[in-house]
Amino acid sequence: MQLPDIERLRKDTPTCESLIHFNNAGASLMPKPVHEALINHLALEASIGGYEAEHQALPELDAFYTEFATLLNASPDEIAYVENATRAWDMAFYGMPLKDGDHILTHESEYVSNYLGFLQQAKRRNLVIDLIPSDESGQIDVNAIPALITDKTRLIAITHVPTQGGLVNPAIEVGEIAKAHDLIYLLDACQSAGQIALDVKKLQCDVLTGTGRKFLRGPRGTGFLYVNSAFLNKLDPPFVDLHSATWTADNSYEFAANARRFENWESYVAGRIGLMEAVRYANTLGLANIESRVANLAKTVRSTLSNIKDVDVHDLGVKQCGIVTLTKTGIDANDLCTHLRTQGINTSVSTLTSARLDLGKRNLENLVRASVHYFNTEAEIDRFAQVVESA
């Protein structure tokens, strides 16, 4: 199976006619079916009431779990809807059975919000953060991990695709080591979900988190959490309400039997339906097909930029994805991003404060981040390169 005609996919994304969207790692463009699902439910709420609209939408809300199960090769009971990727990650991390003196293994490419969580809990609970070094390519040095594991090591927590570049960390190999040493494995898939095929059985992760707005092409304010059913009862959710648990007696309660114990009763119903539709859209296209096209487009971007004077591409790793980061001598990344926007090209900027351990080590203050998706074209890449060159 291959992706349908790209022009057909672009017709599902009408904004392609008016601008070049290379900011899919920030927030992608919703395809028509996703936008329509979102708007139609909001209209239904306005016409019959919020509770009533939710009741009518129960088949779509149930499909949220089955579509994500297909996306991740998981069970529907292992999926939870959460408001965003960071809160999904927090619900898992802050509920983990960690105790005084335990060690966390992570990497210098880790996302800022996650690392702030490590720092906070290190201070609160006397945890220790150990950094896995990078290999010569800049990715996690898998061979260095076993020597870092001690009887105090409890958790390996990494970001699959860092926010600040095209690096794809070797998550499957890390998972093999985690399982061999009976360690908890937490994987942040915020930037990989929707552009890379994810199989939680191959990854062997206990927890995986992600967002809706990026490469899945869903609405903002939506996210998801996967918890392996064998690991579920080892987590103690940091928050609880009448949806995540049942008040069984005056002084007792029981958690929901599945991953929905991490959900809230009140949630963005239209957003959940929109995200379900986005995952269904991606599943129909096939993640292997999406991954192949995105990687090839990004490779073309890197190759094209490498031929431009005074432009440097800064992506690391053996395997690279749809995120491309660059600098141009003499132009601040924020100014270049603004200039591109005036020319109808959306990009974003990755800053030192979002990836201090990585960018600081490389003496990089900020980078322009151009992130492509399957609906982008080679002609758009040429136009992007022309604007960068002439800036």
Q: What does the pLDDT look like over 229-240, one tens digit per residue?
A: 999 999 999 999
Per-residue DSSP letters for 197-210?
---HHHHT-SEEEE
> What burial letters (b/e) apply to 2-35, b meaning 16+ CB within 10 Å?
eeeeeeebbebbeebeeebbbbbbbbbbbbeebb
The pTM of this model reads 0.97
Comparing CA positions, the residue from 252, 267, 208, 213 lying closest to residue 71 is 208
Q: What does the pLDDT look like over 248-269, one tens digit per residue?
A: 999 999 999 999 999 999 999 9
228 phi and psi angles, rounded to 5 deg: -55, 130
- CA torsion 222-223-229-233 (nearest 10°) is -90
218 phi and psi angles, rounded to 5 deg: -95, -175
Q: What does the pLDDT look like over 113-153, one tens digit per residue?
A: 999 999 999 999 999 999 999 999 999 999 999 999 999 99
Name which CATH class applies to 6-30+286-390.
alpha beta
Sequence ranges of the chain with CATH classification 3.90.1150.10:
6-30+286-390
Q: What does the pLDDT look like over 156-207, one tens digit per residue?
A: 999 999 999 999 999 999 999 999 999 999 999 999 999 999 999 999 999 9
Sequence ranges of the chain with CATH classification 3.40.640.10:
35-284
* CB-based contacts of 126, cutoff 8 Å, min separation 6: 100, 101
Percentage of the residues of the chain whose pLDDT score is greater than 70: 100
What is the reported pLDDT for 324?
Answer: 98
What is the reported pLDDT for 2?
Answer: 77
Average pLDDT, the chain: 97
pLDDT band at 1 (very low <50, low <70, confident <90, very high): low
Longest pairwise C-alpha distance within the chain: 72
Q: What does the pLDDT look like over 44-80, one tens digit per residue?
A: 999 999 999 999 999 999 999 999 999 999 999 999 9
Distance CA 267, CA 69 (A): 20
Supply the CATH classification number for the domain 35-284: 3.40.640.10
pLDDT band at 3 (very low <50, low <70, confident <90, very high): confident
Cβ contact 275:364 at 8 Å = no
pLDDT at position 33 over 70: yes
Q: What does the pLDDT look like over 349-375, one tens digit per residue?
A: 999 999 999 999 999 999 999 999 999
